[in-house]
């Protein structure tokens, strides 16, 4: 059984996966593992519930969507930064 201690590896892994689990972006096997952990660990379950409730409140409160030009700029910036980091790391000897 887990203890809710952030230094406990099982709790740390469950808490690190909370956001992805809340967004339903995990594989079914991973979700099952987290659900088993949450069933045993009250502190992690509480943290999960808080995060889930906050996400629902924010989603309900946000009625505006970003304009398309802003979305395009953000995506371009993300891709540029990603490519720059990948290119720089791959091109420098002794890294990685």
What the block records as the tokens of 59 is 């989603």
What the block records as the tokens of 38 is 């949450």
Task: Give the global pTM.
Answer: 0.52
Select from 55, 56, 52, 21 the least CA-distant residue to 37: 21
Q: How confident is residue 73, by pLDDT bands cut at 50, 70 and 90?
A: very high
Write the pLDDT tens digit of every residue in 18-39: 777 777 777 777 888 888 898 9
């Amino acid at each position: 059984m887990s203890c809710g201690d952030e230094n406990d590896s099982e709790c740390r892994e469950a808490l690190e996966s909370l956001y992805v689990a809340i967004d339903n972006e995990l594989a079914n096997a991973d979700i099952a593992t987290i659900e088993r952990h949450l069933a045993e660990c009250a502190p992690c379950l509480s943290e999960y519930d808080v995060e889930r409730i906050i996400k629902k409140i924010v989603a309900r409160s946000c009625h505006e969507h970003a304009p398309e030009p802003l979305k395009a700029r953000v995506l371009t910036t993300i891709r540029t930064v990603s490519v720059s980091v990948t290119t720089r790391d791959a091109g420098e000897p002794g890294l990685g």
